[in-house]
Amino acid sequence: MASSSHPEERPRPETMVLKLRAQLGNHALWDALLIVFPPVLASLCAVYLLVQGAWVNETVASTVAILALSLGALVITLRYRPRLVKLAQAAQLVDQRAGAKDHFLTLATIDPGNCTEPLLSRLRQDAEELVGRVELKRDFPYKVKPPTYWSAGSSLVVVLLLYLLLPVAASMLHPVSASQRLRELAERMAQAPRLKELAEQLKTLAAKLEDPKIQPQEKQAAVREIEQKVEERQKTEDEKNNRDLLSQAADELKGLEEQQSASGQEQQKNQSQGGGNLQSNLPKEGQGEGKQSQGSGADGPGKLGGQLSQDMQQGKSAQGNPKEPGQDKNQQHQGDTKGNQPDPNRPGKEPNKDRADKGQGGSKDGSGKNQASEEPPQSAPPAERFYQAGEGKDGLKGARYVTVQLPEEVAADTKGEGKTTKEGTGHRGRSQVPVSNVPLPAHVPNAPTEKQPMPLEYRGIIR
């Protein structure tokens, strides 16, 4: 085999073995470093992210970072030391590469003191002839080991996961308020000169949202207003960054609007669950004018008279204009209520008829006067004799009235032993026939069970 280097440049066999040993030692060190370095770096990144997210304070972070570095150094040492190549191993590698028969091994490991000089010289001479076959850099290149890739990959994944999940976890554990988000968004928008004005408005909105004195309806209206502005601006905006900011703002405002409407509902529900609710058919702002209802008042406890307006008889709620803006949810409510209310004019509606029959039957056998009084005549308007003095076919003549919705317990007390019609409605104590112009929240389980017409004797006071 031809030697690749000039004989004078050839290193001594023992030197070559020593060089190879050092080179393999370096390889082992690199292996250890490349395997341990990514996890250490990942842990430092993790610490940095934790500090950024205010999960840990700087003292803890410094301690953890020092610990990670120390642990890394320890692991490197523990991994590197056993992998240090022994002289004999290095010599054997050279032997293998050079096709020698343990020439280098013998030269590298033998004690020259125990050898005769001529034989040692001869061995060295033989080995030097073989040295040319080996080139350390070519024959023993550094190769990255598979664990290095695994280490780097897994560390990267961990860092990415932390980077992505920490903000999520932070928002889950410490949610940022909508107004705060709006403020942050406004600050970013304020950096763009063209969006400065909108940013100011957003800030104002954020302040408004935080103000507990402002009604939810007002907040909702304000949100909607800004949302419209943002949408309009979005249409005209050319710059991409601004468009992105505007779309973020739009999303945020949309979410806010939904949130506001949900909270409005919640509030309404809470109000309805609380003690008495005074409802009136007096014209209010944002509500249509209530229609007059007709019906009979109750004469006393346990004898509640079913007051029934004409509209109610036709299955309509007597509340104001359902098309009133800002009352979408209420409209929905009304619709539900309507759907649940019996419609005596609708032919073939057997269950309603059955219920009406039952009510009448109840009054016949005298077991429940309440039942009889609550159940209005289905097919025809009540006879004249059923009207109180001052009342007519069209209700109280020339009078405006209010109905009082009593809490459930009070209603029950007022009824005494009175039997409520429960069949078919699915809601406890729910009146089958609407007795007021107040739309009943049909799907609310704890809705008031009774709507009691205002006794006639109190009408004068309210009036």
Per CB under 8 A, residues contacting other proteins are 88-89, 92, 101-103, 105-106, 108-111, 115-116, 119-120, 122-123, 126
Count other Cβ atoms within 10 Å, centred on residue 239.
Answer: 12
Give the residue with the Cβ less far from other proteins, 108 or 222: 108
Minimum CB distance to other proteins smaller for 41 or for 87? 87
**With respect to other proteins, which residue has the nearer C-beta, 116 or 379?**
116
CB 326 within 8 Å of CB 217:
yes
Nearer to other proteins, 106 or 452 (CB): 106
Hey, what amino acid is at 448? Answer: P
Q: Nearest 5°: phi and psi at 189?
A: -70, -30
Quick check: 438 and 279 in contact, CB under 8 A? yes
Of 249, 256, 246, 197, residue with least CA distance to 223: 256
- With respect to other proteins, which residue has the nearer C-beta, 118 or 398? 118
Extract the runs of DSSP E, i.e. beta strands, from 224-298. Answer: 277-280
Minimum distance of other proteins from residue 88's CB (angstroms):
5
For residue 280, the cross-strand partners are 402
In angstroms, what is the minimal distance from the CB of 108 to other proteins? 8
Which of 106/281 has CB closer to other proteins? 106
Q: Are the CB atoms for 300 and 405 separated by under 8 Å?
A: no
Give the nearest distance from C-beta 57 to other proteins in angstroms: 54
Task: Return the half-sphere exposure (C-beta side, CA atoms, 13 A cut-off) of residue 362.
Answer: 19
- For residue 412, CA distances in Å to 297, 441, 443 come to 17, 19, 20
Question: What is d(CA 11, CA 313) in angstroms, rounded to the nearest whole number?
Answer: 114
Nearer to other proteins, 103 or 427 (CB): 103
Would you say 305 and 391 are in contact if contact means Cβ atoms under 8 Å apart? no
> By the 8 A CB rule, do 313 and 435 touch?
no
To the nearest whole angstrom, how small is the minimum distance from the Cβ of residue 115 to other proteins? Answer: 5
CB of 116 to other proteins, least distance (A): 5
Buried b (16+ CB within 10 A) or exposed e, 149-172: eebbeebeebbeebeeebeeeeee
Q: How far is the CB of 14 from other proteins (least distance, A)?
A: 13
**Helix H or strand E segment including 51:** helix 13-52
Q: How far is the CB of 117 from other proteins (least distance, A)?
A: 11
Lookup result for tokens 């109190």: 458
Least distance CB 150 / other proteins (angstroms): 29
Comparing CB distances to other proteins, the nearer of 106 and 294 is 106
